[in-house]
Structure 1
Amino acid sequence: MPVEAPQGNAIPWPTAPDVPPTAYPPPPKPRRRGLLITAIALAALLLCGGGGVTAFLVLRDGETGEGAAEPVAAVESFLDAVYVDQNAAAAAALVCSDARDQRVLQDKIEEVQRYARTYPSPRYRWDPPKVEQQDATRAVVSTRLTVLTADDRSAAQQLRFTLVQQTGWWVCDVG
């Protein structure tokens, strides 16, 4: 079969009668982007939602464990931990989360221990703590702390404790 000469600017189109129509590659399969987008959105939702629930559970009260049943008991336990046991970890377990600074507590314990090295046999005692103010969530308790030494020296200091009620009573400030 003869090929006709192009007329004008037309380019001849070759014909291929011997090539079957199945020789051309099949069209590409449609991509499943919807499934990928759904999987990514679900993963993000689980991560954000799970993180939000975890943050809520961790921060809702800010306290782990149980505080003291009464403000006076919390102050007594705190004074015992600092002045009798001289144990910063025990004191930290009695302090509200907002004021829980292990370094500050350790510094106070070291101060008490310096007294023990400087003065002969220091002993600490305090008057029975008294509640000055109290409502459902906050209390102010005061006591007079006295240190006595074997050589008859003594020093006294009035202390005021601010406590909060969150799963029990916690010491938040000493002034």
Structure 2
Amino acid sequence: MRAPVSGPAATTPLPPGYAAPPHQPPPGQVSPHQLPPGQFGPPHPALPGPPPVGSVPVPPRRRRAVLVASVVLAVTLLLCLAGGVSAFLVVRNLDAGEGAADPVAAVDGFLKAVYTEQNAEKAASLVCSEARDTERIESKIQEVADYAETYADPRFRWTQPQLDEQDAERAVVSTTLTVLTADERTTEQQLRFIVVEKTGWWVCDVI
């Protein structure tokens, strides 16, 4: 009888169907203590790398300066236009004249008198008595005239006034007012006018 040989015990293969020892992970999974070759520690999700150079273009300083100037111009003009058109529509005087033939004609004539002809008397003749203030109309028209000294050749345009609603005594007319300058700056504003009928149609408010 041969004596037992000293040394590490030989590994005995498990018979078919025999369950793996508890410390072994199920097939297809890696034990925390048994990582694939070359891998240290548990896997981590990949972190996004830095964006490639040139993927976010830096706008030129000149364009940025022009944009800032345009925004400032737009804000300035819109404040003047929004506040100015309605500022002089306050209570003053009595009706004089016959008004316009229809609501659209009243609004179009009013805009022409203020922004194209810069004629305070004509503009006042299209404003209802409850909202007429000659001094404020003259002040607004002077502001429009002063734009030429501040901006390069400002021009005022508006879309054809549209009749949004109307009954026998009141109408709502809308248009888009645009200001353009010679150096290609532009800004626009939506305007809605309340027009009333009393011996003709009169501009009475801006909403």
Q: Per the shorter chain, which TM-score range? A: 0.5 to 0.7
1:63 maps onto 2:95 in alignment? yes
Alignment of 1:44-123 (within 5 A): 62-123=94-155
The one of 164, 169, 172 aligned to 2:196: 164
Percent identity for Structure 1 against Structure 2 = 62
Alignment of 1:17-28 (within 5 A): none
CA–CA separation in structure 2 for the residues paired with 1:90 and 1:69: 15
Counterpart residue type for residue 145 of structure 2:
Q
Offset of residue 87 of structure 1? 1.2
Task: Extract unaligned runs of 5+ from structure 1.
Answer: 1-61
Aligned to 1:34: none
CA–CA separation in structure 2 for the residues paired with 1:64 and 1:109: 21
Aligned to 2:73: none
1:173 maps onto 2:205 in alignment? yes
Aligned to 1:31: none
Matched residue count: 114
Give the structure-2-normalised TM-score. Answer: 0.53
Q: Aligned to 1:114, what secondary structure does the other structure show?
A: helix
1:142 maps onto 2:207 in alignment? no
Offset of residue 111 of structure 1? 1.7
CA–CA separation in structure 1 for the residues paired with 2:178 and 2:112: 13
Task: Extract unaligned runs of 5+ from structure 2.
Answer: 1-93
Q: Aligned to 2:135, what secondary structure does the other structure show?
A: helix
Residue by residue, what CA displacement relative to the aligned partner does 1:74-95 show, whole Å, maximum 9, x if unpaired? 1010000000011111100110
The one of 185, 189, 204 aligned to 1:153: 185
Give the structure-1-normalised TM-score. Answer: 0.63
| Runs of 4+ residues deviating >2 angstroms | none
RMSD: 1.0
Q: Aligned to 2:174, what secondary structure does the other structure show?
A: strand
Offset of residue 171 of structure 1? 0.4
Q: Aligned to 1:120, what secondary structure does the other structure show?
A: coil
Which structure's residues are more often helix, by fraction?
1
